[in-house]
Structure 1
Amino acid sequence: MTRRNDYPVAQTPAAQTGNAKPIWRSLDDKGRASEERARLADAGAEHGPVLSADSLTRGRSSDSAPSTGTHLGRRGFLAASTVTAAAGLLEGCIRRPEEHILPYGEAPEHVVPGVPLHFATVTERLGDAMGLLVTSHEGRPTKVEGNPNHPSTGQGAADVWSQASLMDLYDPDRSTKPARSEGGTLLDAEWTAAEEALQARLASHQGNGGAGLLVLTPPNSSPSFRRARARFLAKFPEAGFHTWGSVTDANMREGAKIAFGRPLNIHHDFRGSRVILSIDSDFMMTEPNALTNSWRFALGRPAFRPNDPMNRLYVVEPGHSLTGSNADHRLRLPSSQIARYLKILAKRLATESDVDLADVASAVSDVSADGIPEAWIEKVAAELLANRRRAVIVAGLRQPPAVHALVHALNRALGNDGATVIFTGVADDDGGSAGAVPQAPSGGETAPPEPYYNTQVSELAAAMGGARTMLILGSNPVYDTPADLGFAEKLGSIEFSLHLGSHRDETAAASTWHLPMAHELESWGDLRSRDGTYAIQQPLIAPLHGGRSALEVLGFAAGDEDPKGHTLVRSTFSEVFARGPRSSEAWRTALHAGVLAGSTRRPEPPRPLDTVAIALAVRATADVPMPTPDALEVAFVPCSKMLDGSRANNVWLQELPDNMSKLVWDNAALVSPATATQLGLSDRDVVRLEADGGAVVEAAVHILPGVADNVVVAPLGWGRHAAGRYGNGQGFDFGPLRTTEALWHRSGVRVTRTGDDWFLVRTQEHGSMHGRPIAIDGTLEEYQETPDFPQYRAVEMDIPPLWDRVDYDGKYKWGMSIDLTACTGCNACVIACQAENNIPSVGKGMVARGREMYWIRLDRYFVGEDENEPQVAFQPIGCQQCEEAPCENVCPVNATAHSPEGLNDMAYNRCIGTRYCANNCPYKVRRFNYLNYHEYLEDPTNARSMDVNIPATRQMSYNPNVTVRMRGVMEKCSYCVQRLQEAKIASRRDDRPIADGTVRAACQETCPTKAIVFGCLNGYPYVVRKGSALVGKTVQEIAREYGLREVRIERETVVPDSEHRVGVQEVDSIEGNDAFLNGQVKYTVYSASLLPQLQSHDRHYKLLVELGAYPRTTFLGRIRNPNSEMV
């Protein structure tokens, strides 16, 4: 490695030398002409094409092409500047919004104005229970975090869906009243009428035991729900009870059932694995236990020292998932060919297995290896065999049960079971363990195990054919069931259908009755996680619209005397989990902690492997020909934002850039550059996807590097028509192509252009790298050779500053470090920042003009020459909190200035909107409120005025500790200064130094891999006062008593009205002598912070250090661990 190993973009001459891999934002960036790059480089982050917001709202752009604009000459610039200056003066005299406030008539007993409360609860996520800590201000939930007590959160992280759940709660389009269908139209009704209609209908089934009565729910791991189901089936033994979810772990459980004779939950220890092979598994994002998986994966590649052991990740997949983007090696392969790859690998591993896999070897003996790179068989097999008991193979939920069963056989052959692969029982198969389904209160038989995984769709279709009554609780099957089921038509033929849902969605429109469903933050419930941990879901607010939970409606249908959620959950807790006289105490403890201590299941010992059943399942998996340009394969994948489409009206998720494509407000048919070239497709072309049987979908094309050739990747969850104002008409619904036999991929699809195009908006090109080293990475081998390689790729500044730098000795000096090796690109930090800091969403049209408002963005870069086989680098970018901030020098009204602690602060009421600061910010992280964006999506016309009319439900979501910015104001990351102030106030109030880790920015707190570290570069200073409990104590006593990492004490002679510190010396204890009592001596206790160690690490570098801005936010270069024999 040379001293100056630059990291150029693809177009720079350095890229041709072979000394470094090129890095590029997109295909356009990689192939763009130099003139176009210069134009984009000169454009600020707030600039973009001059487009009509109306023409961009829905996307089609054939009739409204972007305007090219005109060149602005010198005279025109001077004339415009005069007008702008005058407008700026007028803007400075703007009328601030006038709001009316009212005090509490009767203040709630537990509410202290300005002091938030925190409640532990739980939410369901793909068959797992995710523990949450929810912050409430004056009775309003305002922020969601992960509960560190819960095992599924990776020590307190939260994913994008948890963070964005507030927008689901405060969605203005939520269903507010029951409704009855008359003439195909839903008309408002009262709850009493709905209850009477349901009761009368259930009474009509009393005489026949429930024959012709169906209930359909999403998969559910709630013990209380299972007990209610047991009572319902005891009352209606002939009724059918079915489950369906568009995205579930059904294949995983079925695969375990084939291999071991019963369904099991599988847990992978990525922390202890040296080699990981992912078989179409996005275990870091869209699969169960993703937060814990990400955390453990990051622990397995610390990279703090060059000789630290580091895991290696191999990924085989058709699209570019988040997990695949973090791979050291990645094989692009159509979904239909992944089973064949695994069979070939099994044939290779079976020859050196210590386990008898003769039946399996026989089943895969005649598999062809055509089209599979030999290295991906021989080299991967060699690594797996060399790391027995320290490797893991994991299959994704999209792969069929036979693939999962074969993966179990290979993990057993490698000795991974019980080491890196752990088994626990499933929630519906307790086997007599704690939490087993009890007998129904009526004395009936124990309820049969509820099939958590989906009912076979054929069984559901057959049952609907003879049904007279159907209850649909909490799902939207008209939208997400396979197209060949014809669910809407079958539902329309049923005499009485009742739908419980959060919105009047597609299923509500096809039902005879609709009931509003309570949000998880409004209702009582309970859940068991995949490892058996029991947690209680408690409400933080009364139902805003009088909704009820699925548990309450099922309890009502079962004839419970008191079908309230609290009663049902409390009964389950006392009768199943905490019997005896101390049940009430255990209940309070579980509510407070968020989990029931001791409820976690013990790992099960590895069960005998049924190799005969596995072999039969593998033989039954037919080999499918490789797709061709004339017969493409469509791979259906859970969207990293919408997931299954149930959150389609969530405005935060709509505007969140996709992890890989960076699309906002849309999905698209994703194809590789090679496939696009073969088919003559361009970005934004609208194509017609046609499959055998007449199924047709039209969708826009987006060319994404890394997609398998002859494959169309189709993200699910879009194209809704009854989602609400934000979700309607956004994106494309690929559901018509999904069938019961082709649920996750469909072959033989033909693609033709329609001649239309669709305006897709992506955010990755809102800025330019100027060929600078931005996202720096290297291999483990390079790191071992030159540990401080990131610093060699940055250009040190050799020009001294114009004035002396401020000395922050003895003061708080906040900073942040981001480890790019640990960052997976999950986007959780982006939504966490938005929720914490009241950041508005602006809509597709404004994002197209570069006016998104995120305070932290997640940049995605492609690395390498081959546009079909690139590597990926992620980099979170927020305000760098420069000590010599370029933005401050150009503000004419001192609206942005330095605080005494060195933070680059914004004084909103001073800002007159010149935007000079944004132009002078080299990181392009400042955001300007061109309009009143908090109401723009609801009322674009009024948003251009100074009258503020923010929707009431939206106001309920605001953090009261953060100013809601209005039109004409610049804003940016503040390091969550409100949290800093809260910590300092608590430190003085409680008379204790701040411990490292107790002050956390919102982005840091939610990060599942702990990639973001925030702290004080000086250590946390605490000035000791007279009468403090610290007086008379030694360094060791203070550290031990207050749980501090490391402590030092400074004694300083006080000179009144002096900014300089005099007579500073380090001492071992605090003496309460006369000089201290008379204020002549000051003692300061410093508790150590991890941050200074990170900012002096070999991998540490500062972004654009050559500009001399001295940023407080710094980065640790990314380390990859490729197999040298496969590079």
Structure 2
Amino acid sequence: MSSVNQGNEFPHDSTLHATEANRREFLALMAASLGLAGLTACSPPANEKIVPYVRPPEEIVPGKPLFFATAMPIAGYGVGLLAESHLGRPTKIEGNPEHPASLGAADAFAQASVLTLYDPDRSQVVINAGRIATWEAFLEALVVEIQGKRASQGQGLRILTETVTSPTLAWQIDQFLKMFPAARWHRYEPVGADSMRTASRLLFGRYADPRYRFDRAAVILSLEADFLASMPGRLRYAREFSSRRRPVEGNMNRLYVFESTPTITGAMADHRFPVRSSDIPALAHGIWTALQSGGADVPEGLRHGIDAIVKDLYARRGESLVLAGASQPPDVHILAHHINAALGNVGATIDYAAPAEFDPTEHGESLRTLVDEMRSGAVDILVILGGNPVYAAPADLEFEKHLRNVRFRVHHSLYHDETSDLCHWHIPETHYLESWGDVRAFDGTATIIQPLIDPLYGGKTPYELMTALLGQGSRSSYDIVRSYWSGVQKQDFEAFWRKALHDGKIDGKIDGKIEDPSPSGREWRVAPGEGPPVPQPPPPGLELVFRPDPTIFDGRFANNGWLQELPKPLSKIVWDNVVQMSPATAAALGLKNEDMIEVRSRGRTIQGPVWVAPGQADNSIAVFLGYGRTRAGRVGSNRGYNAYAIRTSTAPWTAHDIEIRKTGQRYLLASTQHHHSMEDRNVVRGAALKEYKQNPHFAQTPSDDPKALPTLYPERPPESNAWGMTIDLGACIGCNACVVACQAENNVPVVGKAQVLNHREMHWLRVDLYDSATESRANPEFLFQPMMCVHCENAPCEPVCPVGATTHSVEGLNEMTYNRCVGTRYCSNNCPYKVRRFNFFQYAVTEVPSLKLLYNPDVTVRSRGVMEKCTYCVQRINAARIEAKKEDRPIRDGEIVTACQSACPADAIVFGNLLDPESRVSKLKQDPRNYGVLAELNTRPRTTYLARIWNPNPDISRKA
């Protein structure tokens, strides 16, 4: 296949809605455009004074940012980051290139975390029984309660946390449990790894986490494991995986994916098989039996491709990898471990490590035990550190009901949320950018979390709350964290501390791999019997699968406007969640896009809109967690449905015996897949590896050679720099980290759902999704294409501007002069790439003090009536030029890194000087896969693309 069919760019059976903007909703969103605030009062501005430094700090130079190494905990696990600060204000997040878990990348959650820092809806005061209180009043009440528990050694005292990988916090909790032996510590993570933990306990007799080496794997089999988006090691895994997707290096890997719901991992597969989630255990067992006996014992409807996959895995023994996803039951994880062992992969592409989580446990069972104790009245005091169990706990546990039985309830969280509302005391939590702490990454690497700014709203860290529980008075989190690490590193502690802060990681604190996870050293434990478990056949008919939302995860990011307006990678839905089903299932049920349906499971119901998704497995219906919040904040509340309302502890990922009922109502969905279309043009290109080897230049046309098209205009004289970019479509995983990075770097506003429906979203960079679906749209091949201003050398937008607001620089940048723009939008009409954005309203927030701190001072905040677009991060180019001029040298290759490039975990984006033949971008421009989008228009784009190459198994049909 030399070209991907683009005729199916639009969702099946979709309608384009033109709605009149709701002024009240729009003003509410505009007042919080970046997320979240109210309008200021109509009083005159207060008199203000600015006072200069008497002695300016040596390290602070106005206009020059500082970078600090830190880490962001996400679901307990740390991601190593560099935080950019302007005069004490964090404004941008980058990945820490020295950190083994991030390798210099940062996902969309990390990029958007700076907006959460300045969110005016964050909890700002201590609350007691619905009234504002003080930290001191809480300490007094807590001392009385804790003193009353000393005689009983903590009987009835419970702590509930999320995943804890912080060494300091774990140390404090351990101290607490020793002080109160009858107390108990419970944990719950809504999107956790219980199946993996259960499997390791059954198989190895201990908890052991698998660690994967995708850079060593030639053949990969994913059993519903979304390792590019959902696993704690996703950033490292994306970099390692994409490093073997470049055909010129001659070591392309091959990826097989079995999954029920399309994911970005499935979109990157060479062969993707949409199957019901409950059918995967039988597939895994069939693969195991085929490796043992040569014949796959698989149900007839699932046999296609299995023999070829087994043959491929066996041929690459020691270079293959099989992994199971969190949504699969423990039996599948056990089978995956057995298959890897049989293939000789253990120690090569997979090894095992002691979990980074302290005192690991199975969270579902831990929460169930707590609820049982609350039900019986055994819990007298409950301290909840983080999380939102009232919202996210399984519905059958009735956590909210039994929480009311607890006499003294404390909740520590970033927002006054659903759980806070039911607790006697709510303590505001600090953001990781404003507090000291520590955390471990998925591989055990520890990082000191250092703040860049004092707490904006007077929040407290969990370390300070634990100190209060321990009766140690009031101590700063800085002192607490240093106290722990000074006990660990007794020799030359100050040098150790400075190095840890500087590097953003602590060397030598990574757990070594478990060479033999078997307790006997001879054979693994299994349960039941002597071999891998034989799965029970699943019930026929429909299944319901629960999945974390791609942009707001489990609901913790619901009040983040950047993430709410970030299109989901494979549906492009914004501001909502949907009930997703395949075209065949929708047709069988008589449903179409935007139909409201009622989903009933075990006596519980939710209502949500239908979304027909190519690639969704037949008879598998997906619902997405994270929406339906009632106390998220002004941006995240009352959006979508709450999938937790029908999720149970016995079936947290897959449910059967469901009923679907059409309500007769319709619900308006905003999907950007409709927008900025370049349909019927060959803008994305790809081929199989065999076709590429036969014709390496398949992606190029005569128009890709700029000299092939005659011109009457003289060439521009070459300058010292000519900036350009390449984007590798074979490496891009469609994760959208680049979109949020661009938004944060360039002060791009949020516009709200109503404006998105009018095609008025403001993202400078979009990630277009194309598929090659057949008429049935059952199993398409997906292809992502980041699209921004391509900085044409013959830019169609420039000659049509009547006021010269868009011009061409001597270094090849297509520049915008904002204060010259009068908003005719002629440039947008004449742009064939549809990458210009117009401010129809005053989207930028200027009234909310906290959000003013968010803006990058190096980038102009645009006003109403102004056109804007990608600038190649010209502010970064200028900063590098100034540094080079000061040092009297040319700009080095790699010295300028655009925001999208720095965020990309797959290293798909490369920027640099085209006039430097040794620059990385110049060399990539010589790759035979390099082509320009719409080059036949003689626009001569500076941004070009490397065509995607698939590596299919010749024994399996590409369309299977």
What TM-score do you get using the length of structure 2 for normalisation?
Answer: 0.94
> Counterparts of 1:869 and 1:422 in 2: how far apart (Å)?
33
Q: Per the alignment, in what secondary structure is the counterpart of residue 925 of structure 1? A: coil
Q: CA deviation at 1:314?
A: 0.4
Q: CA deviation at 1:98?
A: 14
CA distance, structure 1, for counterparts of residue 532 and residue 355 of structure 2: 27
Partner Cα separation in structure 2 for residue 455 and residue 141 of structure 1: 39
The equivalent residue for 1:320 is 262
Deviation at 1:799, TM superposition (A): 5.2
In structure 1, how many angstroms separate the alpha carbons of the residues matched to 2:239 and 2:471?
A: 44
**In 2, Cα distance between equivalents of 1:100 and 1:921:** 45
Instruction: With a CA cutoff of 8 Å and minimum separation of 6, indicate the structure with the bigger relative contact order.
Output: 2
Residue pairs, 1:1101-1116, within 5 angstroms = 1101-1116=931-946
CA contact (8 A) 2:4 2:771 kept: no
Q: Tell me the number of residue pairs that the alignment of Structure 1 and Structure 2 aligns.
A: 932
Q: Do 1:627 and 1:711's aligned partners in 2 also have CA atoms closer than 8 Å? A: no
Given that residues 257 and 273 in structure 2 are in contact (C-alpha distance below 8 angstroms), is that contact kept between their aligned partners in structure 1? yes
* Cα deviation code 1:319-344 (max 9, x no counterpart): 00110111111111111111111111
Q: Which residue of 384, 396, 399 maps to 2:325?
A: 396
Question: What's the counterpart of residue 786 of structure 1?
Answer: 695
- Where 1:278 maps in the other structure, the secondary structure is strand
2:954 counterpart residue number = 1124
Give the equivalent residue in structure 2 for 1:49.
18
CA distance in structure 2 between the aligned counterparts of 1:811 and 1:993, rounded to whole angstroms: 9
1:959 and 2:856 correspond? yes
Contact map agreement 1:276 1:313 (CA 8 A) in 2 = yes
- 1:624 and 1:695 map into 2 onto residues whose CA distance is 25
Q: Is the 8 A contact 1:56 1:759 kept in 2?
A: no
Kindly state the Cα deviation for residue 769 of structure 1 after the two structures are TM-superposed. Answer: 2.4
Partner deviation per Cα, 1:458-501 (whole Å, 9 max, x = no partner): 21212223111111111100000100111111111211101111
For 1:197-236, what aligned pairs fall within 5 Å after superposition?
197-236=141-180
Counterpart code for 2:597: V
Q: Which residue of 2 aligns with 1:938?
A: none
1:270 corresponds to which residue?
Answer: 214
Tell me the equivalent position of 2:450: 538
Q: What amino acid is aligned across from residue 903 of structure 1 in structure 2?
A: L
Write the deviation string for residues 799-854 of structure 1: whole angstroms up to 9, x where unpaired. 5334223122x421000000000001010000000000000000000011010001
Pair 1:341-2:271 in alignment:
no
The one of 546, 555, 563 aligned to 1:645: 555
Question: 5+ unaligned residues in a row in structure 1: which ranges?
Answer: 11-22, 33-39, 41-47, 59-96, 353-360, 430-448, 936-948, 1020-1086
Among candidates 517, 521, 524, match of residue 607 of structure 1: 517
- Once residues 765 and 89 of structure 2 are traced to their aligned partners in structure 1, the CA distance between those partners, rounded to angstroms, is 25
2 CA distance for matches of 1:621 and 1:129? 36
Does residue 1:579 correspond to 2:490, yes or no?
yes
Q: What is the 5 A alignment of 1:339-418?
A: 339-351=281-293, 369-375=299-305, 377-418=306-347
1:361-760 matched pairs, under 5 angstroms:
369-375=299-305, 377-427=306-356, 449=359, 451=361, 455-465=365-375, 466-576=378-488, 578-580=489-491, 582-608=492-518, 610-616=523-529, 623-628=536-541, 632-692=542-602, 694-760=603-669
Residues in 1 aligned to 2:693 and 2:559: alpha-carbon distance in whole angstroms:
48
Shift of 1:659: 0.5
2:727 counterpart SS class? strand
Inter-partner Cα distance in structure 1 for 2:876 and 2:316: 45
The partner residue of 1:251 within 183, 195, 198 is 195
Structure 2: how far apart are the matches of 1:346 and 1:99?
75
Q: 2:96 aligns with which of 141, 144, 147?
A: 147
Give percent identity, aligned residues only.
41
Q: Pick from 858, 879, 887: which aligns with 1:982?
A: 879
Cα distance in 1 for residues equivalent to 2:819 and 2:896: 27
Aligned counterpart, 1:1016: 913
- Match of 2:795? 885
Is the CA contact 1:226–1:450 (under 8 Å) kept in the aligned structure 2? no
Partner of 1:995: 892
Distance 1:617 1:655, change over 3 A: farther
2:39: which partner in 1?
none
The yes-or-no answer on 1:102 pairing with 2:50 is yes
Map of 1:332 onto structure 2: 274
Structure 1 position 872 matched with structure 2 position 782: yes
Please list every run of 5 or more consecutive structure 2 residues that lacks an aligned counterpart in the other structure. Answer: 28-44
SS at the partner of 1:933?
Answer: coil
What amino acid maps onto 1:223 in structure 2?
P
Q: Is the 8 A contact 1:669 1:702 kept in 2?
A: yes
Please give the secondary structure, in 2, of the residue aligned with 1:764. helix
1:117 counterpart residue number = 66
Do the aligned residues in 2 keep the contact of 1:127 with 1:249 (CA within 8 Å)? Answer: no
1:83-123 CA distances to partner (integer Å, 9 max, x unpaired)?
xxxxxxxxxxxxxx999883535565242211111100112
SS in 2 for 1:456: helix
Find the aligned partners of 2:539 and 2:485 in 1 and give their Cα distance. Answer: 53
The reply to whether residue 161 of structure 1 matches residue 109 of structure 2 is yes
Q: 2:868 aligns with which of 932, 957, 971?
A: 971
State the shift of 1:640 in Å.
1.1
* Deviation of 1:620 (Å): 6.9
Answer whether contact 1:406 1:618 (CA < 8 A) is retained: no
CA contact (8 A) 1:773 1:794 kept: no
Corresponding residue for residue 11 of structure 2: 26
* Residues 996/428 of structure 1: CA separation in 2 closer, same or farther (3 Å cut): same
Query: Helix, strand or coil for the counterpart of 1:371?
Result: helix
CA RMSD in angstroms, aligned pairs only: 2.3
Matched residue SS, 2:514: coil
Cα drift, residue 454 of structure 1: 5.3
Change (3 A) 1:422 1:993: farther
Query: Following TM superposition, by how much is the alpha carbon of 1:864 offset from its aligned partner in structure 2, in angstroms?
Result: 3.3
SS at match of 1:310: coil
Aligned-pair distance for 1:374? 3.5
User: Residues 731, 696 of structure 1: CA spacing in aligned structure 2 closer, same or farther, 3 A cutoff?
Assistant: same
Within-5 A mapping of 1:713-1112: 713-792=622-701, 800-808=710-718, 810-865=719-774, 866-935=776-845, 949-1019=846-916, 1088-1112=918-942
What TM-score, normalized by structure 1, do the two folds share?
0.80
- 2:119 is the counterpart of 1:171: yes
Residues in 1 aligned to 2:677 and 2:657: alpha-carbon distance in whole angstroms: 40
Alpha-carbon offset, residue 166 of structure 1: 0.7
Residue in 2 aligned with 1:432? none
The 8 Å contact of residues 888 and 896 in structure 1, kept in 2 or not, is answered as yes
Distance 1:525 1:914, change over 3 A: same
Per-residue deviation, residues 281-310 of structure 1 (Å, max 9, x unmatched): 0000011200011110011222225xx121
SS in 2 for 1:124: strand
Contact 1:126 1:287 in 2 (8 A): no
Q: Which amino acid aligns with 2:136?
A: T
* 2:490 match: secondary structure: coil
Cα deviation for residue 794 of structure 1 reads 6.6
In the other structure, the counterpart of 1:1056 is none
Larger displacement relative to structure 2 (258-267 or 972-981): 258-267
CA contact (8 A) 1:638 1:716 kept: yes
Q: What is the alpha-carbon distance in structure 2 between the residues aligned to residue 637 and residue 165 of structure 1?
A: 22
Q: Match of 2:818, SS?
A: coil
